[in-house]
Amino acid sequence: MTKEEIFLKFQDVLVNDFEIARDSITPGAKLYDDLELDSIDAIDIMVKMKEFLEGVIEPEQFKKAITVQDVVDMLLPLVKKS
């Protein structure tokens, strides 16, 4: 899975499960400030993204993500190989 594919999957989760407008989900969008997510949302996101991953997202690692691109970069080494 490429960075673009991860971005699109992550974007789909945010649109479908958190009702965030697709056009506001850009690589530079800040998770907590721009997209108004909170720590409970972060846990839900980790659960939703788990189906695409081989590895495990550590909650402490996810807390360090500031932008959508940070999440994509964090997920890239964990995605299932197709």
Q: Does domain 3-78 have CATH number 1.10.1200.10?
A: yes
* Domain edges within the chain: 3-78
- The whole-model pTM stands at 0.87
For residue 81, the 8-state DSSP code is P
Q: Would the pLDDT of 46 be above 90?
A: no
Three-state SS for 30? strand
**Interatomic CA distance for residues 66 and 71, integer angstroms:** 8
Q: What's the average model confidence in pLDDT over 48-76?
A: 86
Amino acid letter at 7? Answer: F
What was the pLDDT predicted at 82? 56
- Percent of the chain beyond pLDDT 70? 98
The maximal CA–CA distance of the chain, rounded, in angstroms, is 34
- Mean per-residue pLDDT over the chain, rounded: 89
Select the highest-mean-pLDDT range: 21-25, 60-64, 78-82.
21-25
